[in-house]
Structure 1
Amino acid sequence: MDLDQFAALRTPAGASALAAAAELAGGDPLAAAAALRSAGVPGDLAAGALTQAELRRRAVGKFGPVAARMFFTRAGLEQATRSVVADRRAARLRAAGVRSLADLGCGLGADGLAAARAGIRVYGVEADPVTAAVAAANAEATGLADRFTVEYGDATAFDVSRVDAAFCDPARRGGTGRRVFDPAAYSPPWDFVTGLAARVPRTVVKVAPGIDHALIPTGAEAEWVSVAGDLVEAALWCGPLADRPRRATLLAATGGRVGPPAGHPPHTASPARAPAPAGGPGSPPSGGHQLTGDGTADAPVGPPGRFVYDPDGAVVRARLVAEFAATVEGRLADPSIAYVYADRYTSTPFGRCLEITDVLPFSLKRLRALLRERGVGRVEILKRGSALEPEKLRRDLRLSGPAPASLVLTRVAGAPTVLVGRPAEDPAG
């Protein structure tokens, strides 16, 4: 999509084409294109409207119903922050006293819109002219244009003295759409990003969840965020915004609080340190579940127990497995593998729990015989520290029978091991 094509979508004829395309989204694309053309919509406008309709349909998972009024590019939607994450980040900035924010590399505007909704004056800068136009249109479409303005330009040239905080989400895809793994090739480049905090102490940087810990600036808080169990991003909180060295945050897909099991309060755990006082400059707002620590603790090591926990990806990436293990009185059976074992069940939002029925040195023949004896015909397969391919193993097991089972491929004291189990149930109901 170029600027002329985008401008056409914003005309009355474009609005009519978008409305017609929305009725056809999700169906046969060739039939949809033919239907629009037969209704008198020019081919280029029909193609653009159908593309927007499809992107809007896909964007609902990130943005909710408001996606039906927004505009998107394929690359922009791929990198855009989910609204539940952006809203929580905006609330944390607002709670820290931020009133004006530079959104450097604002993309489609997901984070800028969230900050504006929170009452923060946002100045967006975007290096791609089409993306900048889309972000400005999204601010208008959501009624936030008075608090979120976007300019096309170089983020590195923006006068940050105009604001009291900065947010940067450097583009991690090249012109061909391929992922960029070298931080020096980000846009803006990594040296500019890491230097921001020296000029704007209250700086937040969105980064990929797989960021090398060696790249985390000294004194910054690194936070990993998962949504409904899906690890989606990491963020670096700098200067007075930093609260703990490492944080894992678990959010629900639709925002707000992740619901713990009935009868259990929302969970904030930090075995190594007491929680920061509520309302402090670095304290995040309530909502979701948070585990914090410094990422250097070692969990105790011992034999497998009756239960095994598979920690959430945010916990693992934040290197808070030891802190998690302390919350369930658990241990590792192999110091290099993030499965946590315990002798009794503890309800927790930070990991999934299985009850172990069997611990076997891995042997395909022995495992197949055990599952056949128990009439197991369906298995889920989890793995850490195993080179086995789950789908190949599933075929090799030649399963038949009505019963389900869970298999965990791992190592215990360095030896290839398979755990057979089932989802754990709270003995207290």
Structure 2
Amino acid sequence: MATSDLALLLTPEGWALLSSLPPYDPQQSLALSRSLREEGHAPALVSAALTQQRLRSRATAKFGPFAQTMLFTPDGLEQATRLTVAAHHAARYAAAESARVADLGCGIGGDAIALAGLELPVLAVDRDETTAALATVNLMPFPHATVRCADALEVDLAAEGVDAVFADPARRADGRRLTSPGQWSPPLEEVLALRGRVDALGVKIAPGTDHAELPPDAHVQWVSVDRDVVEAAVWCGPLAPEGPGRSALVLHDDGSGGTTSHLLSDPDGTDPSLPPAQLDPVVSLEDLGPLIHEPDGAVIRAGLVALAAERLGARPVGPRIAYLTGSTPAGPGLSPFLRSWHLREVLPLRLKALRSRVRAHGIGSLEIHRRGVEVSPEALRASLRLRGNASETWLVTRVGSSARGVVLVVEPTSAGHPVRPVPADDTPL
């Protein structure tokens, strides 16, 4: 959103127009735009209001009903923390009895809203003028939240009465992701140096951050929401009561508008900067067990696959491949962190054979997952000429030390069928 668009919406006419719009309907947006202009509203104001209406519709997935009174930019919405995740952040600060929290790089204010919602005094800081203005609007319901347009690292934390910091460095530039923490703004190293000024420091980082970049004396937690890994965060000092190490927080929609949370932690407090532990994979197809488990992405990113496998008595199907195989079902303590299937059949990764199966079984719907092979699920699905009423789930991967790909045909763990190995003379796709 341009500053001029924001200024238009913050006039009495602009705010009234935005508040009067119906829920966003892409089929009606052109007609609505025309109608509003015919009523005498300026085209620029109509465009700004309808853009905001569309963003609010998208934001509902992250902010629920709060989205209908907030203002967004496309980038700000994409980078904002989901409210369900921000609530877990805020709970750490509340448990640490923080007196005042500085949200450095606050963006549109997602984390600051969660902190203020727990009645924690918040100083939200962003150096972009328009973004700071959006955060000001979004935090208006919270009188103990203050927004400031400033450089995050130049804020005098002691003078502001701040004893805890949450920092979210910018990880994009010119529309592209910055993978190196040294390129973030501010760089991760400079943000972590804030521990010299406050003990309670939390830093949101990219889920794919190299473990070697992580501080060994911190706790690092990876978070997924409905199987989508959304973030990782470094927690220091009183914000990490569990001590140094790694954990995976898995959040699921409970089907009634709420969220269930499940936590898998490294009980040994492994140094988070060390590479994930490795397991010995199965050797051949004959070693595959009747069950295949796929760990949640947060478990994989946290390097806790070995922990899950140990508790299951399972092994990876191949080197550095996060499919586990064994004969023990996941119990209640592990099932939230895994997708589990019963192995029905093993097929060669050969297009002719796969097309023959699709025809013979009348497969019209096919769910394809892949790990360890350079095959596009979308391209493979398109090449199979699906037709029929049957559906299947395929895991395209490698087994043992073989470089040859195979297709594991799987189904929910309630049904079982024997494994049939791939014929030795099949040619891979």
What TM-score, normalized to structure 2? 0.86
Deviates more, 1:183-192 or 1:100-109: 183-192
Taking the aligned partners of 2:39 and 2:19, their CA distance within structure 1 comes to 13
Match of 2:157 in 1: 160
2:409 counterpart residue number: 420
Letter of the aligned partner of 2:42 in structure 1? Answer: P
Determine whether 1:221 maps to 2:219.
yes
Please give the per-residue CA displacement for 1:365-400, whole angstroms capped at 9, x wherever unaligned: 334444444443322111000112222322333344
- One-letter code aligned to 1:226: S
1:95 maps to 95
1:185 to 180, 183, 186: 183
Aligned partners of 1:345 and 1:426 also within 8 Å: no
Amino acid at match of 2:281: V
1:403-418 matches, within 5 Å, as 403-415=390-402, 416-418=405-407
Is the contact between residue 109 and residue 139 of structure 1 (CA under 8 Å) also seen in structure 2? yes
**Would the aligned equivalents of 1:406 and 1:423 in 2 still touch at CA under 8 Å?**
no
Structure 2 counterpart of 1:257: 260
- Could you tell me which residue of structure 2 aligns to residue 301 of structure 1? 281
Cα distance in 2 between the residues matched to 1:211 and 1:67: 30
Distance 1:129 1:87, change over 3 A: same
Q: Which runs of 5+ in 1 are unaligned?
A: 259-266, 275-291
CA–CA distance in structure 1, aligned partners of residues 415 and 345 of structure 2: 19
Q: Distance in 1 between matches of 2:98 and 2:381?
A: 53
Opposite residue 325 of structure 2, the aligned amino acid is Y
Q: 2:266 & 2:79 partners in 1: Cα distance?
A: 34
Inter-partner Cα distance in structure 2 for 1:269 and 1:177: 34
Q: C-alpha separation between the residues in 2 aligned to 1:169 and 1:132? A: 14
Moved more, 116-125 or 15-24: 15-24
Please, which of 346, 352, 357 is the counterpart of residue 365 of structure 1? 352
Question: What is residue 41 of structure 2 aligned with on the other side?
Answer: 41
- Correspondence 1:368-407 to 2 at 5 A: 368-407=355-394
Contact 2:246 2:265 in 1 (8 A): no
Report the CA distance between 1:338 and its aligned residue: 0.5
Matched, 1:204 2:202: yes
Report the CA distance between 1:423 and its aligned residue.
2.1
* Cα distance in 2 between the residues matched to 1:125 and 1:271: 34
Secondary structure of the residue that 2:204 maps to in structure 1? strand
Q: What are the superposed Cα offsets for residues 146-170 of structure 1, whole Å, 9 maximum, x if unpaired?
A: 2210011111110122211100001
Matched, 1:7 2:7: yes
In structure 1, the partner of 2:316 is: 332
* 2:186 counterpart SS class: coil
**Does structure 1 residue 137 correspond to structure 2 residue 137?**
yes
Residues 21 and 53 in structure 2, CA contact (< 8 A), matched pair in contact too: yes
Question: Is 2:295–2:323's contact at 8 Å kept on the other side of the alignment?
Answer: yes
1:226 Cα deviation (Å)?
0.5
- Write the distance in 2 (CA, Å) between the matches of 1:410 and 1:202: 43
Displacement of 1:46: 1.2
Question: Partner of 2:250: helix, strand, or coil?
Answer: strand
Q: Is the 8 A contact 1:8 1:14 kept in 2?
A: yes
Q: Check conservation: 1:295, 1:320, Cα contact below 8 A.
A: no
1:152 counterpart letter in structure 2: C
Secondary structure at the counterpart of residue 345 of structure 1 = coil
| SS of structure 2 residue aligned to 1:191 | helix
Q: Which amino acid aligns with 2:411?
A: R
Q: CA deviation at 1:31?
A: 2.5
Q: Distance in 1 between matches of 2:391 and 2:176?
A: 40
Q: Secondary structure at the match of 1:62?
A: helix
Alpha carbons of structure 1 residues 255 and 223: separation in structure 2 relative to 1, 3 Å:
farther
Deviation of the 1:319 alpha carbon: 1.0
d(CA) in 2 for partners of 1:22, 1:377: 38
Kindly state the Cα deviation for residue 214 of structure 1 after the two structures are TM-superposed.
Answer: 1.6
- Residue equivalent to 1:279: none
Q: How does 1:287-326 map to 2 (within 5 A)?
A: 296-302=276-282, 303-326=287-310
Give the Cα–Cα distance (whole angstroms) in 1 for the partners of residues 203 and 163 of structure 2.
15
Tell me, yes or no, if the aligned pair for 1:271 and 1:327 is still in contact at 8 Å.
no
Contact 1:124-1:150 at 8 Å conserved across structures = yes
Q: Distance in 2 between matches of 1:224 and 1:270?
A: 10
The gaps in structure 2 that reach 5 residues or longer are 417-429
Partners of 2:167 and 2:202 within 8 A in 1: yes
Name the CA shift for 1:255/1:183 in 2 (closer, same or farther; >3 Å).
farther
Q: Deviations over 1:226-263 (max 9, x none)?
A: 011111111111233332411110112455424xxxxx
**Structure 1 residues 404 and 52 mapped into 2: Cα distance closer, same or farther (>3 Å)?**
same
Deviations 1:335-364 (A, max 9, x none): 310001121322401011111111234333
Paired position in structure 1 for 2:169: 170
Kept in 2, the 8 Å contact 1:272–1:323? The answer is no
Aligned length: 398
- Cα pair 1:25 1:53 within 8 Å, conserved: no
Q: Matched residues, percent identical?
A: 42
The DSSP-based 3-state class of the residue aligned with 2:336 is coil
